[in-house]
Chain A
Amino acid sequence: MAIQNLPQNKSKNKYIGAFGEKVIADFLQSRGVSIVERNWRVKEGEIDIVAQLPNGIFAFVEVKTRSSLAFGHPLESISNDKAHRLQRLALAWLATHRAFGAEFQIDCAAVLIANDGQHTIEYRANIL
Chain B
Amino acid sequence: MTLGQSLGVALMGLDGHLVAVEVDIADGLPGYALLGLPDAALTESRDRVRSALVNCAESWPNRKVTVSLSPAWLPKSGPGFDLPIAIALLAAQQTIPEEKTNNVLYLGELALDGRIRAVRGVLPSLIAAYKQGIKIAVVPSSNRLEAELMSEMTIIPMDHLRALLCWLRTGERIEVPELALAPTADEEILDFSDVAGQERARMAAEIAAVGGHHLLLIGPPGAGKTMIAERIPGILPPLMRAESLEVTAIHSIAGGLSARSPLASSAPFIAPHHTATRAAMVGGGSHQIKPGACSLAHRGVLFIDEAPECGLGVLDALRQPLESGLITISRNIGNVAYPARFLLVLAANPCPCGKFSGRGRNCTCSSQQVRRYLGKLSGPLMDRIDIRVEVESLSRVEMMQSELGESSATIRKRVIAARDIATRRFSNEAWSLNSEIPSRALRTTYQPERAAMNFLHNELDREQITARGLHKVMRTAWSVGDLVGHVQPTLADTQKAFALREGISL
Q: Chain B's nearest CB lies how many Å from the CB of A106?
A: 10
On chain B, the residues within 8 Å of A108 by CB distance are 29
A18 at the interface (CB under 8 A from B): no
A91 at the interface (CB under 8 A from B): no
Interface residues of B in 12-31 (CB under 8 A from A): 27-31
On chain B, the residues within 8 Å of A78 by CB distance are 29
A70 at the interface (CB under 8 A from B): no
Complex Cα distance, B31 from A80, in Å, reads 9
* A73 contacts B27, C-beta separation under 8 Å: no
Complex Cα distance, B497 from A77, in Å, reads 78
Interface size class of A (residues with CB under 8 A): 10 to 19
The residue on A at minimum CB distance from B31 is: A80
* A76 contacts B28, C-beta separation under 8 Å: no
By DSSP majority rule, is chain B's interface helix, strand, loop, or mixed?
Answer: loop
On chain B, the residues within 8 Å of A125 by CB distance are 27
* B30 contacts A76, C-beta separation under 8 Å: yes
On chain A, the residues within 8 Å of B30 by CB distance are 73, 75-76
A53 at the interface (CB under 8 A from B): no
Q: Chain B's nearest CB lies how many Å from the CB of A109?
A: 12
Complex Cα distance, B28 from A83, in Å, reads 11
Complex Cα distance, B32 from A73, in Å, reads 14
On chain A, the residues within 8 Å of B27 by CB distance are 124-125
Q: Pull 16 A–B residue pairs with CB atoms less than 8 Å apart, ordered by A.
A: A73-B30, A73-B62, A75-B30, A75-B62, A76-B29, A78-B29, A80-B31, A83-B29, A108-B29, A122-B62, A124-B27, A124-B28, A124-B29, A125-B27, A127-B28, A127-B29
Q: Chain A's nearest CB lies how many Å from the CB of B225?
A: 64
Q: Chain A's nearest CB lies how many Å from the CB of B2?
A: 15
- How many residues in B have their beta carbons less than 8 Å from beta carbons of A? 6
On chain A, the residues within 8 Å of B62 by CB distance are 73, 75-76, 122
Q: Chain A's nearest CB lies how many Å from the CB of B61?
A: 10
On chain B, the residues within 8 Å of A122 by CB distance are 62
Residues of B within 8 A of A (CB): 27-31, 62
The residue on B at minimum CB distance from A78 is: B29
Binary contact readout A70-99 vs B (1 if CB under 8 angstroms, 0 otherwise): 000101101010010000000000000000
On chain B, the residues within 8 Å of A127 by CB distance are 28-29
Complex Cα distance, B30 from A108, in Å, reads 11
The residue on B at minimum CB distance from A123 is: B27
Complex Cα distance, B25 from A124, in Å, reads 13
The residue on A at minimum CB distance from B62 is: A73
Q: 8 smallest A-B Cβ distances: which pairs? A: A73-B62, A76-B30, A127-B29, A127-B28, A75-B30, A78-B29, A124-B27, A75-B29
Complex Cα distance, B60 from A75, in Å, reads 13
Q: Chain B's nearest CB lies how many Å from the CB of A68?
A: 15
Binary contact readout A100-128 vs B (1 if CB under 8 angstroms, 0 otherwise): 00000000100000000000001011010
Interface residues of A in 22-53 (CB under 8 A from B): none
Known: A75-B29, A75-B30, A108-B29. 16 other contacts (CB 8 A): A73-B30, A73-B62, A75-B62, A76-B29, A76-B30, A76-B62, A78-B29, A80-B31, A83-B29, A122-B62, A124-B27, A124-B28, A124-B29, A125-B27, A127-B28, A127-B29
On chain A, the residues within 8 Å of B31 by CB distance are 80
Complex Cα distance, B30 from A73, in Å, reads 9
Complex Cα distance, B419 from A33, in Å, reads 87
The residue on B at minimum CB distance from A73 is: B62
Complex Cα distance, B62 from A78, in Å, reads 12
The residue on A at minimum CB distance from B27 is: A124
On chain A, the residues within 8 Å of B29 by CB distance are 75-76, 78, 83, 108, 124, 127
Q: Chain A's nearest CB lies how many Å from the CB of B211?
A: 65
On chain B, the residues within 8 Å of A124 by CB distance are 27-29
Complex Cα distance, B31 from A75, in Å, reads 10
Q: Chain B's nearest CB lies how many Å from the CB of A32?
A: 21
Complex Cα distance, B28 from A15, in Å, reads 27
Interface centre among B27, B28, B29, B31 (most CB of A within 10 A): B29
The residue on A at minimum CB distance from B30 is: A76
Complex Cα distance, B31 from A78, in Å, reads 10
Q: Chain A's nearest CB lies how many Å from the CB of B30?
A: 5
The residue on B at minimum CB distance from A108 is: B29
On chain B, the residues within 8 Å of A73 by CB distance are 30, 62
Q: Chain A's nearest CB lies how many Å from the CB of B333?
A: 29
Q: Chain A's nearest CB lies how many Å from the CB of B179?
A: 40
On chain B, the residues within 8 Å of A80 by CB distance are 31
On chain A, the residues within 8 Å of B28 by CB distance are 124, 127
Q: Chain B's nearest CB lies how many Å from the CB of A128?
A: 9
Complex Cα distance, B291 from A110, in Å, reads 52
Complex Cα distance, B64 from A127, in Å, reads 10
Q: Chain A's nearest CB lies how many Å from the CB of B66?
A: 15
The residue on A at minimum CB distance from B63 is: A124
Q: Chain A's nearest CB lies how many Å from the CB of B151?
A: 47
Complex Cα distance, B64 from A83, in Å, reads 14
Binary contact readout A50-77 vs B (1 if CB under 8 angstroms, 0 otherwise): 0000000000000000000000010110
Complex Cα distance, B29 from A125, in Å, reads 9
Q: Chain A's nearest CB lies how many Å from the CB of B27?
A: 6
Q: Chain B's nearest CB lies how many Å from the CB of A71?
A: 13
Complex Cα distance, B335 from A27, in Å, reads 59
Complex Cα distance, B491 from A72, in Å, reads 85
The residue on A at minimum CB distance from B60 is: A73
On chain B, the residues within 8 Å of A76 by CB distance are 29-30, 62
Complex Cα distance, B28 from A80, in Å, reads 11
Complex Cα distance, B65 from A75, in Å, reads 14
Complex Cα distance, B30 from A127, in Å, reads 10
Complex Cα distance, B30 from A111, in Å, reads 15
